[in-house]
Structure 1
Amino acid sequence: MKLIRRRWMAAFGLTLTTAACGTSGTTGAGERASLIKRAPLPENEFTAKEIEATLDNLIAEINKGSIEPMQMAVLLKALGGFFTPITTGANRAMGELGVTGNVVGPSGQGSDQQQRAEAQGEQIQQAVADGAEGIGVSPFGDAIAADIDAAVADGAAVVTLDTDAKDSTRSIYVGTISESAGVTAGQTLLALLPPSPGTVVIHGNADPSWVDGLNRMLGARGVLEEADYTVVVRQIAWGPAGQVDDIEWMKAQIETADPPVVGLLGLHDISYRCAMATEAAGAPELPVVAFDFDPKTVEYMRRGLIEATHTQRQYYAGYLVPYILYGIKTIGLEATQASLAPQMSDDSRLNVGLDVVRWNKVDQYNAFLDSIGASQ
């Protein structure tokens, strides 16, 4: 345990502090603490109204009981980039709840997935040792399932976000549901395609070892094949060298496929490579639909080479987790799940859904992200 503590303290200078803007808290003897109130967000066409309504329902149920102090920790795989809006949302929610807690990134221990998972497991152990009653974690895969199980056995509620550890005893997963996200992306492209026959290129994952990536691809492919298109899948290749390989492979498909390529669909944050392939093949008129909001994706959208992209509502994922942890502590898991029912895909997975951002709505979407403090 001393080794764990040294790593934690060295990596983060661990200081669990009470968030300053909380509206709940303790009062004098015999008095009830203030009700929990959320800070209102400006109305916008991208506001996730269904999530807002579900959260209001959860808070109403929490406010029927006693408002209690709580300590929690949110452990993320990173704090910048894709995880910046998650960090913003989680910190805001903890402030509104008035709980003691913080958001921390990886410890930096290890260079491969297994080593990072082991270091994250140590973070979970330390959070429990320091008194956390609730833990939100973006896991490095199912390798941390045993550490989650141990935390739950010690009395802590655990909620996963962004990625899941489905074989653990975590209470709820919060984030994008991969297959339904793929279905949505497939439907977005389908609306832009000419009548079949035609070939559609999917830039995604076909490797069964990455279950979420595979499920996203299968959801999209199912939509397009059901509409009688021929679908070819380019196995995504990460890194600079992978970009060259991806573009060349997709370019060759555009030039030689029979029936001809009529559209391209990218399912990850480097989806802009689909637009690069259409340029390389001299076919910039082909419709391209992307995923996530990488600056290069935005650049190609502004140029009219990507018709739409799908963003994963990271802010809402981060914002929901502290409220769910607090609900589990104060009203119990079953009552919390019942309050969240409109957003639950099944008994233990909450779907934050996607924002579909069209090429001509980039500025409006950036303004929305700025308004909630969630720009990447």
Structure 2
Amino acid sequence: MLTIGRWGITALGLTLMTAACGSSDAPGEGERSAPIQRAPTLASEFTPVEIEETVDNLVAEINKNATRPMQMAVLLKEASGFWSTVFRAANRAMGELDVTGSVLGPIAPKGDDEEKVEFQNLQLEQVVADGAEGIGIAPFGNDQTTAVDEAVAKGVDVVTLDTDVPATKRSLHVGTLDRAAGATAAKTLLAMLPPGPGTVVIHGYEDTGWVNGVERTQGAADVFEAAGHEVLVREASWEEGGETEDVDWMKTQIETADPPVVGMLGLFNISYRCAMAAEATGEHDIPIVAFDFDPKTVDYMREGRIKATHIQRQYYQGYLVPYILYGIKSIGLDATREILAPQMVDDSRVNTGLDVVRADKIDAYNDFLDLIGSNQ
């Protein structure tokens, strides 16, 4: 059993406080001293203009009313790597909102997934006890439904990001829609392939214990199969020794598949393993398309081995969640949902989409990440 003391879960995020004024011209109780003001949007070919406009519209509607102080928390799986961008973005949004709260990217205990889930559930319980009125959470999986619903039952608005727990009473989910993301990546690769039949190797996921991974993989497989290609899926492994096992399996398929392998698609941050497998066979002409922006993936893109990658807008996931929580508190869920409609695919999911970055756009994309403070 995991145990933690009060805030023994080291709050690595910035805590931002507001205080009531004491002068005679101070705003009324429960009101803020100034309207919300966002930092200017920086222009780039990669700037998601629709998302930026949606946040502006939400701020404009909130500012029509007397804005109010609020306490919130954002709970992430980690504070480094992929999550460092989410961490910074959530802190930036909370600073612009001038709210009280923390972004928690804990050093989770080493152990199995069950321990990590229990640890995050304890975090959730703690921030509710400390008075959070809204919580953003990147859960580890569907088995956290009870913890989320218990927070909602206590009057707390909960918004999930990255991973969803759709069976709960959470207000909204913000993230990449995995089936659509897989299909988008597959279409990028498909444009580089000869007509079927051929074999496409997907470095994906098939264990139903991780719904997001399965959805992304199935979305990609559907595209290739519809085009007349055979699909072979290697289930990606992040375990010790997983890289060697992944590369060896894919190398074998390149050497033996019938019909021959005509393309490879990686769907996670370790997509570069596809290029490692092709390199191990001496094959340099197989088109490879990747996911995420790991430094090893970028190196293979610069060498011309990976033709394009697909990057989740994790910055915007982190940035949107505090604004959505504040909107729900200020103008209500229905009004917030109406403003978010351009990014919503149904009544509860906000799709932040993907950036498709081809090899000749690496430097331009890095410049964009620098603009928004999102480089890892």
Relative to the length of structure 1, the TM-score reads 0.93
- Separation in 2 of the partners of 1:29 and 1:241? 61
Residue number in structure 2 paired with 1:12 = 11
Kept in 1, the 8 Å contact 2:41–2:52? The answer is no
- Separation in 1 of the partners of 2:251 and 2:42? 43
Residue number in structure 1 paired with 2:48 = 48
Worse overlay, 98-107 or 202-211: 98-107
Kept in 2, the 8 Å contact 1:107–1:119? The answer is no
User: Does structure 1 residue 332 correspond to structure 2 residue 332?
Assistant: yes
Deviation at 1:144, TM superposition (A): 2.3
- Separation in 1 of the partners of 2:82 and 2:41? 21
Flag the 1:14–1:184 CA change in 2: closer, same or farther, 3 A: closer
Residue number in structure 2 paired with 1:125 = 125
- Separation in 2 of the partners of 1:205 and 1:19? 45
User: Does structure 1 residue 294 correspond to structure 2 residue 294?
Assistant: yes
- Separation in 2 of the partners of 1:123 and 1:234? 34
Deviation at 1:372, TM superposition (A): 0.9
Flag the 1:239–1:109 CA change in 2: closer, same or farther, 3 A: closer
- Separation in 2 of the partners of 1:370 and 1:286? 32
Residue number in structure 2 paired with 1:229 = 229
Residue number in structure 2 paired with 1:176 = 176
- Separation in 1 of the partners of 2:109 and 2:18? 28
Kept in 2, the 8 Å contact 1:16–1:101? The answer is yes
- Separation in 2 of the partners of 1:216 and 1:117? 22
- Separation in 1 of the partners of 2:107 and 2:310? 30
Kept in 2, the 8 Å contact 1:11–1:108? The answer is no
Name the amino acid aligned to 2:7.
Answer: W
Residue number in structure 1 paired with 2:241 = 241
User: Does structure 1 residue 165 correspond to structure 2 residue 165?
Assistant: yes
Kept in 2, the 8 Å contact 1:124–1:147? The answer is yes
Deviation at 1:29, TM superposition (A): 4.4
Residue number in structure 2 paired with 1:351 = 351
Kept in 2, the 8 Å contact 1:200–1:231? The answer is yes
Unaligned runs of 5+ in 2: 20-24
Q: Deviations over 1:223-250 (max 9, x none)?
A: 1111111111112222352212211221
- Separation in 2 of the partners of 1:248 and 1:14? 40
Kept in 2, the 8 Å contact 1:193–1:287? The answer is yes
Deviation at 1:146, TM superposition (A): 1.3
Worse overlay, 131-140 or 237-246: 237-246
Kept in 1, the 8 Å contact 2:6–2:126? The answer is no
Deviation at 1:28, TM superposition (A): 3.3
Kept in 1, the 8 Å contact 2:193–2:262? The answer is yes
Kept in 1, the 8 Å contact 2:12–2:106? The answer is no
Name the amino acid aligned to 2:115.
Answer: Q
Deviation at 1:33, TM superposition (A): 4.0
Deviation at 1:7, TM superposition (A): 4.9
Residue number in structure 2 paired with 1:23 = none
- Separation in 2 of the partners of 1:13 and 1:94? 14
- Separation in 2 of the partners of 1:252 and 1:19? 60
Unaligned runs of 5+ in 1: 21-25
Q: Deviations over 1:231-287 (max 9, x none)?
A: 111122223522122112211221221211110000111110111111111111110
- Separation in 1 of the partners of 2:18 and 2:32? 20
User: Does structure 1 residue 252 correspond to structure 2 residue 271?
Assistant: no
Deviation at 1:107, TM superposition (A): 5.7
Q: Deviations over 1:167-211 (max 9, x none)?
A: 221111111111011010111101111122211111100112211
Residue number in structure 1 paired with 2:135 = 135
Kept in 2, the 8 Å contact 1:19–1:101? The answer is no
Flag the 1:19–1:5 CA change in 2: closer, same or farther, 3 A: farther
- Separation in 1 of the partners of 2:28 and 2:203? 61
Name the amino acid aligned to 1:246.
Answer: D
Name the amino acid aligned to 1:235.
Answer: E
Percent sequence identity over aligned pairs? 58
- Separation in 1 of the partners of 2:9 and 2:199? 53
Root-mean-square deviation over aligned CA pairs: 2.1
Relative to the length of structure 2, the TM-score reads 0.93
- Separation in 1 of the partners of 2:275 and 2:13? 44
